[in-house]
A = this chain, B = another copy of it.
Amino acid sequence: MDSIDTDATHDTSSKMALDALRQMVAQQAAFPQRPLPTERDLAVDFGVSRRAIRRALAVLEAEGHIWRRQGKGTFVGPTPPSAAMSFAKLSSRTNFSEVMEARIYLEPALASLAALRASGEQMAILRRLAERTTHQQHASEPDAEGIELWDSALHRAIAEAAGNRLMLDIFEMLDAIRLDPAWRDLRQRARNTDRLSTYSHDHHDIVGAIESRDPAKAATAMRGHLRALQQALDHVIQQDLEASV
């Protein structure tokens, strides 16, 4: 069949196949585990060549609407993360605002678990780190790298005190994405003396709630802290947008 295809009929039949496949994909969105019919069956159903089907599938795959697994078939939806998928790949599929949103849900949970589970030794570490973030803020010269280092160390120590290895791994993954150099400048501009003083105050509130074994208060303090950070970042982005008009 393929050999009869001229370029003109091919273009038309690929477009027809693409439109029909888009409808099929929309209808099958609820069934990500069920493969689409084979190329051969699709060609028969739509009355076009297999080559037209292949071209249409290539478009849908490039758009991220379908994905294929060798020997298994073609499936609806973006490629799911496979067992071999790495953090680097995951990081390339996300963006700054998604990471911030994920932190706002994950870290309050970690703070409340830390309030329930932190050992005396871990509490002492949290207290020391909270004090270091205050020192950083009061340093005569602002030291962006030092601020980030100690801030990240405190958030990580809370995640560790939560006592769930899997959630700590997820935290570290988000923290690695967050520290992407491309976002460093944005974060630096979102900091100013007033805000730094607020953040350091937040850190003491969070650690205080963990020390007093109050999971709800620890979660609330962490959520407030991250929402303030998110707002400061949104504010800087908004200023950039307005300056560019």
Contacts and interface: CB of A to CB of B under 8 A. Distances in A.
B102 A91 contact: no
Contacts of A63: none
A101 B112 CA distance: 12
B84 A88 contact: yes
Q: How many copies does the complex hold?
A: 2
Interface residues of A, number: 49
Contacts of A172: 80-81
Nearest to A82: B87
Contacts of A83: 86-88, 91, 176
Interface in A137-169: 149, 153, 156-157, 160, 164-167, 169
For the complex of A and B, the 3 pairs showing the least CB-CB separation, nearest first, are: A105-B109, A94-B166, A83-B88
Given A93-B169, A101-B164, A102-B164, 11 more contacts: A30-B128, A30-B157, A33-B153, A83-B87, A83-B91, A84-B86, A90-B166, A93-B166, A98-B164, A99-B166, A166-B177
